[in-house]
């Protein structure tokens, strides 16, 4: 779900905000101050008992890892957003949605170039295939980001 949330945040309307530590899988215990762990080795017990996402590391270790899966994925999403102006300022059209987990497809259309970027999210835990309506001006599709592989390594207490 965290990876889906990041993908939505970087491709749908709005300005993506990544807090320090998000890219290292920091989770916090809740509340504003408990979600601000240092990336330096910590001696704070309430930080060190947190289970980090995507790694077996703890906050008791140094946590600036540019190979961390979340770091790499956020960097990739940032690069895709930078490359396609429609993702930064485009009009958003919902192409497919459902009341239950499944497909959410949206288009972002650049107001200057009319370039359409179609984004499809699978909000369920099952594989799915579906047809999605796109603009009539589309003559070809280019995949700009491959679907992410599933991963989640967690530290066991």
Model pLDDT for residues 58-80, shown as the tens digit of each residue: 888 888 889 988 999 999 999 99
Average pLDDT, the chain: 83
122's CB contacts (< 8 A; 6+ apart) are 102, 103, 128, 147
How does residue 152 score in pLDDT terms, banded at 50, 70 and 90? Answer: very low
pLDDT band at 33; cut points 50, 70, 90: low
Specify the pLDDT at position 25: 83
d(CA 63, CA 76): 20
- More confident of the two residues 148 and 95: 95
Two tokens, residue 33: 């101050």
Q: Inform me whether the pLDDT recorded for 154 exceeds 60.
A: no
Whether the CB-CB separation of 32 and 100 falls below 8 Å is answered with no
The answer, yes or no, to whether residue 106 has pLDDT greater than 90, is: yes
Token digits of residue 99: 């009341």
Kindly list the distances between the CA atom of residue 77 and the CA atoms of 67, 117, 126, in Å, as whole numbers in the listed order: 15, 14, 23
Residue 121 and residue 147: Cα distance in Å, rounded?
9
Global confidence as pTM: 0.81
DSSP states of 9-65: HHHSSS-----TTGGGT---SSTTGGG---SS----HHHHTPPPTT-S--TTS----
Residue 86 has pLDDT above 60, yes or no: yes
**pLDDT, position 56:** 85
pLDDT over threshold 60, residue 30 = yes
């Amino acid at each position: 779900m965290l990876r889906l949330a990041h993908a939505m945040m970087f491709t749908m309307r709005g300005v993506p905000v990544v807090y320090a530590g998000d890219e290292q899988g920091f989770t916090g215990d809740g509340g504003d101050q408990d979600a601000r762990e240092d990336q330096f080795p910590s001696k704070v017990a309430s930080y060190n008992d947190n289970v980090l996402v995507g790694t077996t590391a703890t906050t008791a270790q140094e946590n600036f890892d540019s190979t961390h899966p979340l770091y790499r994925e956020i960097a990739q999403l940032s690069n895709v957003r930078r490359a396609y102006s429609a993702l930064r300022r485009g009009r958003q059209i919902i192409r497919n949605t459902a009341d239950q987990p499944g497909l959410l497809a949206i288009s972002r259309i650049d107001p200057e170039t009319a370039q359409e970027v179609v984004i499809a999210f699978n909000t369920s835990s099952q594989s799915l295939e579906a047809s999605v309506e796109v603009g009539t001006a589309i003559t070809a599709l280019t995949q700009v980001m491959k679907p992410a592989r599933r991963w989640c390594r967690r530290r066991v207490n």
